[in-house]
């Protein structure tokens, strides 16, 4: 099934304890698209400025991503983000955000994008996400990511937007903030009650600890893939989402519990590659065989089976 993603296409400046990049290709839609491209046709929707050229587009094209819905805004500047990570990469500070062409972005989707059966609304202003969702009349599965900024300044719109998608993907701290509930399971159950129809699955992203999937009847928690060397976490969440949503698309949109669990594993494997190098560097040259190997390894490092033991009392 074809996948459309709308969201930021960006240049990032990133400093981590392991290096610096002054200007590299980034953005949620880009990270998502590269990951999802391993599973199905992917189309990116979003604006770029005069500073965005063939070198950047070629990173996407090389993975077979359809870039014809990327809108060049003449005279504009591409979205720019810069940030710095702390010692153990668990804290990050945003130094600068320049919205550029996103300040006036009004999505105009092509017929092909509107007819995509799978839609991912990456983290952007929730009004824009809702406008895109409304245009995508062909979408049979829509997922959404957001961030604390929109919970702070546009919560009502965000809640309204979430009610129109099938799956919410959010950092666990943001899920708690969104619902005002201090517990991830409770917070997820709260969102599952929104609608109608509202989301039927919630993914709480937990950074280096992994991710948890909560549905009406199901619960599944998957640790992150073990890594000794993490270089740059930027885009890990979007890469996870690309693997997760991409896997669902490749399976024809089916989403029973077992399939969603596998989709989580593919998302987790993809994200683990993303953080091993800066920006899109690692995923851009990734192979399907490498992904499959990490999914198998993830199965090995999470598996246990009970054996009878006599319990006293």
Q: Which stretch binds a second copy (CB under 8 A): 98-106, 112-120, 139-147, 224-232?
A: 224-232
DSSP annotation string for 56-97: HHHHHHTTT-B-TTEEE-TT---EEEEEEE-TTSS-EEEEEE
Q: Does 250 bind a second copy (CB under 8 A)?
A: yes
Indicate the residue among 142 and 231 with the shorter CB distance to a second copy. Answer: 231
* 89, 121, 144, 236: residue in contact with a second copy (rule CB under 8 A): 89
CA distance 127 to 123: 11
In whole angstroms, how close is the CB of 138 to a second copy at the nearest point?
A: 22
* 186, 195, 252, 256: residue in contact with a second copy (rule CB under 8 A): 186
Q: Which stretch binds a second copy (CB under 8 A): 3-11, 35-43, 132-140, 153-161?
A: 35-43
Q: Does 306 bind a second copy (CB under 8 A)?
A: yes
Give the list of residues 6+ apart from residue 111 with CB closer than 8 angstroms, or none.
none
CA distance 153 to 150: 5
Q: Does 81 bind a second copy (CB under 8 A)?
A: no
Q: Does 219 bind a second copy (CB under 8 A)?
A: yes
* 176, 205, 255, 282: residue in contact with a second copy (rule CB under 8 A): 176
Inter-CA distances, 193 with 206, 211, 261, Å: 22, 21, 21
Give the list of residues 6+ apart from residue 77 with CB closer than 8 angstroms, or none.
49, 50, 51, 98, 100, 101
In whole angstroms, how close is the CB of 207 to a second copy at the nearest point?
A: 9
* 221, 253, 276, 281: residue in contact with a second copy (rule CB under 8 A): 221
Site for a second copy in 263-292 (CB under 8 A): 264-266, 286-289, 291-292
Order across the sheet with 201-205: list the strands: 70-72, 42-48, 3-6, 118-121, 141-145, 167-171, 201-205, 211-215, 219-222
* 206, 253, 276, 281: residue in contact with a second copy (rule CB under 8 A): 206
In whole angstroms, how close is the CB of 261 to a second copy at the nearest point?
A: 4
Indicate the residue among 110 and 221 with the shorter CB distance to a second copy. Answer: 221
- Cα-Cα-Cα-Cα torsion 256, 286, 278, 96, nearest 10 degrees, comes to -50
SS3 of residue 171 by DSSP: strand
Q: Helix, strand, coil shares of the chain as percentages rounded to 5?
A: 40, 25, 40
In whole angstroms, how close is the CB of 129 to a second copy at the nearest point?
A: 26
According to DSSP, residue 213 is labeled E
Residues near a second copy, by CB under 8 A: 17, 37-40, 63-64, 87-89, 176, 182-186, 189, 206, 208-210, 212, 219-224, 226-230, 247, 250-251, 258, 261-262, 264-266, 286-289, 291-292, 295-296, 299, 301-307, 309-313
């Amino acid at each position: 099934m074809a996948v459309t993603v709308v969201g930021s296409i960006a240049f990032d400046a990133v400093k981590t304890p392991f290096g610096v990049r002054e200007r590299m290709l980034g953005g949620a839609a880009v990270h998502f698209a590269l990951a999802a491209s391993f599973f199905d046709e992917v189309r990116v929707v979003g604006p770029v400025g005069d500073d965005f050229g063939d070198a950047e587009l070629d990173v996407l094209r090389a993975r077979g991503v359809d870039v014809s819905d990327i809108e060049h805004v003449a005279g504009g500047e591409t979205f720019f983000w810069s940030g710095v990570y702390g010692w153990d990469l668990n804290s990050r500070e945003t130094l600068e955000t320049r919205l550029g062409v996103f300040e006036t972005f009004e999505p105009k989707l092509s017929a092909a994008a509107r007819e995509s059966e799978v839609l991912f609304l990456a983290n952007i202003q929730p009004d824009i996400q809702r406008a895109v969702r409304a245009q995508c009349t062909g979408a049979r599965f829509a997922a959404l990511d957001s961030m604390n900024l929109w919970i702070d300044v546009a919560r009502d719109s965000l809640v309204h937007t979430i009610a129109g998608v099938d799956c919410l993907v959010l950092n666990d701290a943001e899920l708690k903030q969104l619902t005002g509930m201090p517990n991830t399971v409770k917070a997820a159950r709260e969102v599952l009650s929104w609608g109608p129809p509202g989301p039927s699955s919630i993914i709480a992203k937990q950074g280096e600890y992994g991710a948890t999937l909560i549905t009406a009847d199901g619960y599944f928690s998957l640790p992150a893939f073990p890594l000794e060397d993490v270089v740059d976490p930027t885009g890990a969440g979007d890469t996870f989402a690309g693997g997760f949503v991409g896997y669902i698309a490749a399976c024809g949109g089916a989403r029973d519990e077992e399939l969603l669990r596998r989709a989580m594993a593919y998302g987790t494997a993809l994200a683990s590659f993303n953080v091993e190098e800066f920006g899109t560097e690692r995923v851009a040259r990734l192979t399907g065989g490498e992904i499959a190997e990490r999914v198998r390894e993830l199965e090995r490092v999470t598996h246990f089976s009970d054996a009878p033991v006599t319990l006293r009392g």
